[in-house]
Structure formats: structure tokens, C-alpha cells
């Protein structure tokens, strides 16, 4: 039986799957050959498109008539998700090599639109470079008193949970799974990495609710994962300890995993935040993180599951007076010595930068330091530090820089290509009618999925794809406008916020808006050390914290000296006087003033461009965007004025161009 396409609830934005995107497919004659659940999903999609646009779909070879499109299962060796694509003699043929390949092949045809049915195309092989392409939802089941329903969520409530229980709004969840499949995502974790008491029970007595979600996402090729608390044997099992080497603890986890698999046979595995920001972990028992991860890996192994162990471990009770402790060093210091000790089904999930999803950070040195460990790179689609989905900040170029980074320099392997553990994004989706708060933030989610499929793809090409899919009949002027708005938006955001890689300077707690010294005298390890003479963190090996030496050459040398350090990371690696001259030829202080004025001017221009697109964009989408651009501009001005005033007052150096600084 073909699986019906989910009905989008009234008022919910279709994102990158509007009905019109299926027109070229829906007007054609398609033959579907093969069997199995994913074939039924594909059949349902094609049948729905044909019903809308007058085409025809048959199962099997059909009788006599030729087909415009053949979707079939073959026996190529492209793995479970790969497919081949070719067009010859007026027929387009997609041949899946594994079970899920047909799903991705179908969406490939949808992306190509009319191009899929014109001319000829020699056989192409498609397969994802990275096997695990995952979204982590930081969704709480119960509303958390401080963090709300979704921690760092800027798109309303959770799609899965509301007020302590599963929402059970399956059409919406199915529509979500479909969107994810269409951009290549194949795994989801359904609850926050900070596992509070209510959420802890999802592992045991409430696994049925997780199974409900898994069942709805399964037809779209998505495996469901769960964040669990390391203390589960104590808080759920009543054991006196959660020591990973204790036999009773190990047995408890083995049983817990077996019960999970009884409920969800294709369960993906556990996500674990341990010994981090107050979460329990193996340190309590004098055990290593490899001991902790391997215990969970052992429990999951008989069932084919994986443990995603996060490397976000640092001292969040640091004394700001102590200049020798450097939070940036922490992940490497904790984990690099453990290289080779993790089980085969344990993945170490590493934030892309050493700090915390700032607008500019170097690539984490951990990603080059553990060749014998399966590493997953974690990025943040939810824009905690990049405008909270009120500002437009398309992160494609940033992620692309990370994924293309070669820890060993030219000739070495790019981070994205060596991600044997996978690529993970913290989700930016909620129950908002536009899914992501700002409608343009949908581009981040789409780009993440596509980059995870092909980490070295050109993000601008992906953006064009997103535009073409989301606005299928867009006149050229709209496509150009959207490109203008999104292309440079990350750099614009960088310009009006914390300068030259120094990071933070945000309001403590919620992290929105400027507060230059907000974290300066706090225990969180996020300092800029500005004084009357200069600013920045000395992380050199010669005179600073030694962080720069965590890299292999050439980066250890490049970052060690202000003479070779790239401008955009200068204050991350060095403390320099305000008069220090950048490679750009400007002094640091003048760079700060100039970029902050430019950033606001660019935000003003973006608001103007968006206003000019009224009439070309659906009115509800346009209105939401317009409201957000107002706020972006207000906030950008606030950033500019606070940062410029702060540094003018500290340094006493006037702006060369005499602009207004308060
Ligand atoms: C950041 C974020 C937290 C989150 C943490 C994590 O610190 O502010 O809300 O829990 O990252 O990644 O675990």
C-alpha cells in the first residue's frame, strides 16, 4: 500500500516542499519497481503529485506505454542510501542500491524539477559522504522553569512534546520527517541533552511515547535517538551507584537497552552529555569518559545501536582571576588522550569550535587529534549566539569552512570527509507555523542536511537549490533578492557583534543582545580581557594558555603568532594593543568601529531588500520576515553602539572618520 503524504495542518508553511515543487514529476508518467516500506513512501509521493498535476504512476513495468521516469531497486553497490541517476531515450531512471536509496533518489528528481525530464544525462552515482546525518532536538518534555519547552529554541514549542507529554500531532511530525528526508537527514534525537527528571523516564516507563515518534519518522528513513542521563541506574533503577564498571550498573543498562529495542527495533542509540554543566558522569566514580561511553556502547551493541558521547566537557565553575585555565583547551585535554579507547559503536560528538557555537571560532583541535576514534561534528542550527532566529544569519558558509578545514593542512583530509561518526546539528525547529521562527532560517536547516550528505559541496549552490524548491515559480528578482539577503548574512552578523573572534559579549543567561562585560567576571570561562591598552585572549604556547599548540602543523604555527594568525581569529588567539595593525591594514580599534558601522548599514539594506520583495513572497511569510528585520535592525544598532562606546571609552582612541560614538 502506498503511504499517503502527510496533510499539512492549516496555516503551516510548506517550507521546501510546496506542492508546486512536485509539478514536473506530477505531470509525468512514472513507473515504480520494487518492494518494501520505502518504496511505499515513494509511491505515495508520486501518486499524490500525479493526482494534483495529472500524471500517472504504475507499479511495475506496466503495459506497453513508455515512462518518463522509472524508479526502481537495483543491486549496485552504493550502500543503503545510494542511488544512480541517468536519462536516456526520453526516460529518466533512478536505481536505488539499498533500501532507502529510492527515497533520496525521488527527492533528487524533485530538486531537479523540469531538468530531470530534459535532454540526456549519463549515469551518475549518488551516495552520502557521511552515514549519520542527525538533528538533536533540545526539547524538554515538561516545561523547564528557566529553559522553557525547548532549550535555546526560537521557534515556539516542541513538535514532539507539550506540557509533560507527547503531543501526538502525527501529521505535523510526519510532515517534519518528510522535510528532513528531502534534505537528506536520517536521524533525530527527540529530547534535550540536559536530561531533567521527567525526561529521564523516556528511557524506561515512557519509551512508548518515543516509539510513537519513531514509528511516524521511520517511513522517511529517520532513526530515532534518545538523550539519556548517565545517572539513570540511580534515578530510575534505584541502584546505589552509576559507576560504569559496576556489574549491576552494566546489567541495568543492558536490560534497559533491550527493553528500548523491544519497543523500537530500529532505535538509533543514546546521546549523552556527561560531566558537563552539572550533568552527571563517570568522573564522580573516578572513571574515564571512555569507561562511561563504552559501558553504554556495550549495552547497545547487541542491538546495532550507537552511543553519541558529547565532548563538551569543561569547568563551568572557573575562577575568572585564574588566567591559566582556558575553557578552549578543555575538550582536547579531556579527550585526546583517550584516542583509540572508544568502542566501535561509540561516537564522540564534538562541537565544531572549542568554545560554544560563537559566530567565529577556530575549528576544534579535537577534530584533528583523534584518528582512532569515530568523531561526529556538532553544529548549531538553532541560532543561540547568532541572532536567535530573529536575525537572518545563514550559516552555510560557516559550516562549510569547518567541514573543509584540513587539520593537517593542504594535502590532509577535510574534517567533513573524515567524519566517520556523523554530522549533527542542534535543531532550529519548533511548532512555529514557519517551523523555524524567521522563515529564512529554514535555509539553515536545509543547508545542514545537504552539507551532511556532501560536506564539501558549495553552500551557495545548496542555497540556490533551497530557493528553487521553496519558491518554485519565483521570478528572477525574488531569487536574486533572497540570495542577496542570505549570502552575506553571517558576515554581517559577525560585523556588528563580538569582533575578530573574541566571542561572547552577550547578555548572560538568554544570550541575546550585547553585554560586553556580561560574562567577563563570571565562572563560565568566556573572557575577552579588554583593558585600556588592548583586548583578546593570549592562547599562544609561548606566552599564553598553550591552546594554539593543540593543533598539528601548520595550524599550530599559523595561530601561534599574531603575524600569521588570520585577522578574523586574532582576538581568539592573541591579546593585542588597540593600535595593532591587521593584515587588512587597519588598526584593531578602527576595524571595530568600521565593521560595526558597516554591519548596521548592511542590516538596513537587508531590511530594504526584504521590503522590496513584498508581493513576491506569500504575505504571511513576508509579514513575519518584515517584523523580524525590524528587530534585527534595532538589535544591530544596539550592538554597534554598545561595542563602539565600550571600546572608545576603554581606549580613548577616536574614530578616524569622526562618526557618532556615544
Ligand atoms: C550551551 C548552551 C546550553 C547547552 C550547552 C550544550 O552552553 O547554552 O543551553 O546545554 O551548550 O551544548 O550542552
Residue 95 belongs to domain with CATH number: 3.30.379.10
| Alpha carbon of 152 to ligand 1 centroid (Å) | 8
Beta bridge partner(s), residue 142: none
| Alpha carbon of 312 to ligand 1 centroid (Å) | 9
| Alpha carbon of 138 to ligand 1 centroid (Å) | 9
Residue with cell 584593531: 588
Both 234 and 363 in a single domain? Answer: yes
**CB neighbour class for 322 (10 Å; exposed up to 12, middle 13-18, buried from 19):** exposed
| Alpha carbon of 147 to ligand 1 centroid (Å) | 11
Ligand 1 atom index nearest CA of 276: 13
Q: β-pairing, 56-59 with 29-33? A: parallel
Does residue 605 sit within a domain? yes
The residue nearest atom 11 of ligand 1, judged by CA position, is: 356
pTM of the model: 0.98
| Alpha carbon of 508 to ligand 1 centroid (Å) | 13
Both 111 and 138 in a single domain? Answer: no
Ligand 1 atom index nearest CA of 351: 12
Total structural domains within the chain = 3
| Alpha carbon of 556 to ligand 1 centroid (Å) | 28
Ligand 1 atom index nearest CA of 193: 13
Does residue 272 sit within a domain? yes
Both 155 and 187 in a single domain? Answer: yes
Both 119 and 137 in a single domain? Answer: no
Residues annotated as catalytic are 277, 356, 384
CA distances from 535 to 379, 424, 507, 515, 572 (A): 27, 33, 19, 16, 10
Check: CB of residue 182 under 8 Å from CB of residue 133.
Answer: no
Both 364 and 511 in a single domain? Answer: no
Q: Which stretches of the chain drop beneath a pLDDT of 70? A: 62-64
Range of the domain at 588: 494-537+575-651
Does residue 58 sit within a domain? yes
List strand residue ranges (DSSP E) for 482-533, in order: none
CA distances from 206 to 20, 65, 203, 577 (A): 40, 52, 6, 57
| Alpha carbon of 140 to ligand 1 centroid (Å) | 13
Given 126, 154, 179, which residue is the final one in a domain? 126
Tell me how far apart the alpha carbons of residues 394 and 486 are, in angstroms, rounded to a whole number.
Answer: 6
Tell me how far apart the alpha carbons of residues 187 and 175 are, in angstroms, rounded to a whole number.
Answer: 15
State which of 148, 277, 378, 510 you would mutate to test the pocket of ligand 1, scoring each by most atoms of that ligand within 8 A of its C-beta.
Answer: 277
Both 152 and 293 in a single domain? Answer: yes
We report the CATH number of the domain holding residue 421 as 3.20.20.80
The residue nearest atom 10 of ligand 1, judged by CA position, is: 194
Does residue 63 sit within a domain? yes
| Alpha carbon of 353 to ligand 1 centroid (Å) | 13
Tell me how far apart the alpha carbons of residues 429 and 399 are, in angstroms, rounded to a whole number.
Answer: 18
Ligand 1 atom index nearest CA of 151: 9
Residue with cell 539577503: 485
Given 104, 126, 148, which residue is the final one in a domain? 126
Both 70 and 201 in a single domain? Answer: no
Residue 197: its H or E element: helix 197-200
Does residue 8 sit within a domain? no
| Alpha carbon of 212 to ligand 1 centroid (Å) | 27
Does residue 544 sit within a domain? no
Rg (C-alpha) for the chain, rounded Å, is: 25
Both 254 and 361 in a single domain? Answer: yes
We report the CATH number of the domain holding residue 634 as 3.90.1330.10
Residue with cell 536547516: 445
Both 422 and 530 in a single domain? Answer: no
- Around ligand 1, the residues with Cβ closer than 6 Å are 151-152, 193-194, 273, 277, 312, 356, 384
Does residue 564 sit within a domain? no
Q: β-pairing, 69-73 with 91-96? A: parallel
Given 126, 160, 190, which residue is the final one in a domain? 126
Q: Which three cell numbers stand for residue 102?
A: 529510492
**Predicted-complex ipTM score:** 0.99
CA distances from 619 to 13, 436, 577 (A): 12, 17, 50
The residue nearest atom 7 of ligand 1, judged by CA position, is: 356
Tell me how far apart the alpha carbons of residues 254 and 257 are, in angstroms, rounded to a whole number.
Answer: 5
Does residue 327 sit within a domain? yes
Both 275 and 329 in a single domain? Answer: yes
Check: CB of residue 445 under 8 Å from CB of residue 399.
Answer: no
Both 113 and 138 in a single domain? Answer: no
The residue nearest atom 12 of ligand 1, judged by CA position, is: 312
| Alpha carbon of 277 to ligand 1 centroid (Å) | 8
Ligand 1 atom index nearest CA of 192: 10
Both 115 and 202 in a single domain? Answer: no
Q: Which three cell numbers stand for residue 369?
A: 587529534
Ligand 1 atom index nearest CA of 152: 9
Amino acid at each position: 500500500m502506498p503511504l499517503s503524504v502527510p496533510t499539512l495542518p492549516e496555516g503551516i508553511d510548506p517550507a521546501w516542499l510546496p506542492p508546486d515543487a512536485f509539478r514536473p514529476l506530477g505531470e509525468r508518467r512514472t513507473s515504480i519497481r520494487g518492494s518494501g516500506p520505502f518504496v511505499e513512501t515513494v509511491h505515495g509521493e508520486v501518486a499524490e503529485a500525479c493526482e494534483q498535476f495529472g500524471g500517472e504512476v504504475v507499479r511495475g513495468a506496466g503495459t506497453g506505454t513508455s515512462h518518463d521516469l522509472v524508479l526502481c531497486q537495483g543491486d549496485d553497490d552504493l550502500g543503503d542510501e545510494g542511488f544512480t541517476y541517468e536519462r536516456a531515450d526520453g526516460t529518466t531512471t533512478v536505481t536505488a542500491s539499498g533500501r532507502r536509496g529510492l527515497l533520496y533518489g525521488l527527492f533528487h528528481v524533485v530538486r531537479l524539477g523540469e531538468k530531470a525530464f530534459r535532454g540526456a544525462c549519463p549515469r551518475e552515482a549518488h551516495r552520502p559522504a557521511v552515514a549519520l546525518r542527525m538533528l538533536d532536538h533540545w526539547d524538554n518534555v515538561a516545561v523547564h522553569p528557566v529553559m522553557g519547552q525547548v532549550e535555546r529554541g526560537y521557534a515556539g514549542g516542541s513538535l514532539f512534546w507539550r506540557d509533560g507529554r507527547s503531543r501526538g500531532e502525527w501529521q505535523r511530525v510526519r510532515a517534519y520527517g518528510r522535510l528532513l528526508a528531502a534534505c537528506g537527514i536520517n536521524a533525530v534525537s527527540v529530547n534535550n541533552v540536559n536530561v531533567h527528571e521527567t525526561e529521564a523516564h523516556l528511557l524506561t516507563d515512557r519509551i512508548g511515547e518515543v516509539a510513537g515518534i519513531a514509528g511516524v519518522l521511520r517511513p522517511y528513513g529517520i532513526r530515532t535517538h534518545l538523550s539519556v542521563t548517565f545517572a539513570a541506574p540511580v534515578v530510575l533503577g534505584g541502584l546505589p551507584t552509576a559507576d560504569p564498571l559496576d556489574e549491576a550498573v552494566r546489567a541495568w543498562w543492558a536490560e534497559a537497552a533491550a527493553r528500548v529495542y523491544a519497543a523500537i527495533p530500529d532505535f538509533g542509540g543514546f546521546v549523552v552529555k556527561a560531566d558537563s554543566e552539572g550533568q552527571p558522569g563517570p568522573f564522580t566514580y573516578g572513571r574515564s569518559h571512555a569507561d562511561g561511553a563504552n559501558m553504554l556502547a556495550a549495552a547497545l551493541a547487541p542491538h546495532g545501536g550507537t552511543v553519541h558521547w558529547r565532548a563538551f566537557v569543561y569547568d563551568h565553575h572557573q575562577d575568572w582571576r585564574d588566567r591559566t585555565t582556558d575553557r578552549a583547551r578543555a575538550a582536547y585535554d579531556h579527550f585526546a588522550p583517550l584516542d583509540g579507547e572508544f568502542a566501535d559503536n561509540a561516537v564522540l560528538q564534538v562541537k565544531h569550535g572549542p568554545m560554544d557555537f560563537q559566530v567565529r571560532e577556530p575549528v576544534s583541535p579535537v577534530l584533528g587529534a583523534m584518528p582512532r576514534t569515530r568523531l561526529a561534528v556538532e553544529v548549531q542550527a538553532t541560532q543561540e549566539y547568532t541572532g536567535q532566529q530573529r536575525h537572518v544569519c545563514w550559516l552555510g558558509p560557516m559550516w562549510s569552512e569547518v567541514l573543509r578545514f584540513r587539520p593537517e593542512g593542504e594535502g590532509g583530509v577535510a574534517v567533513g570527509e573524515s567524519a566517520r561518526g556523523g554530522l549533527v546539528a542542534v535543531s532550529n525547529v519548533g511548532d512555529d507555523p514557519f517551523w523555524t521562527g524567521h522563515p529564512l532560517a529554514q535555509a539553515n536547516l536545509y543547508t545542514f542536511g545537504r552539507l551532511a550528505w556532501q560536506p564539501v559541496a558549495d553552500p551557495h549552490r545548496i542555497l540556490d537549490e533551497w530557493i528553487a524548491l521553496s519558491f518554485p515559480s519565483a521570478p528572477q528578482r525574488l531569487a536574486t533578492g533572497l540570495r542577496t539577503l542570505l549570502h552575506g548574512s553571517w558576515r554581517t552578523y559577525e560585523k556588528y557583534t563580538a569582533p575578530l573572534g573574541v566571542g561572547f559579549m552577550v547578555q548572560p543567561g538568554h544570550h541575546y543582545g550585547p553585554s560586553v562585560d556580561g560574562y567577563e567576571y563570571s565562572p563560565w570561562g568566556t573572557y575577552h580581557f579588554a583593558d585600556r591598552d588592548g583586548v583578546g585572549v593570549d592562547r599562544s604556547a609561548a606566552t599564553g594558555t598553550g591552546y594554539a599548540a593543540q593543533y598539528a602543523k601548520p595550524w599550530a604555527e599559523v595561530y601561534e603568532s599574531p603575524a600569521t594568525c588570520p585577522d578574523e581569529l586574532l582576538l581568539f588567539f592573541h591579546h593585542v594593543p588597540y593600535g595593532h595593525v591587521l593584515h587588512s591594514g587597519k588598526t584593531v580599534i578602527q576595524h571595530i568601529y568600521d565593521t560595526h558601522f558597516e554591519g548596521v548599514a548592511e542590516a538596513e539594506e537587508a531590511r530594504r531588500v526584504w521590503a522590496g520583495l513584498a508581493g513576491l513572497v506569500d504575505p504571511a511569510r513576508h509579514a513575519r520576515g518584515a517584523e523580524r528585520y525590524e528587530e534585527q535592525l534595532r538589535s544591530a544598532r544596539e550592538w554597534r553602539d554598545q561595542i563602539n562606546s565600550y571600546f572608545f571609552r576603554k581606549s580613548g582612541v577616536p574614530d578616524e572618520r569622526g562618526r557618532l560614538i556615544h
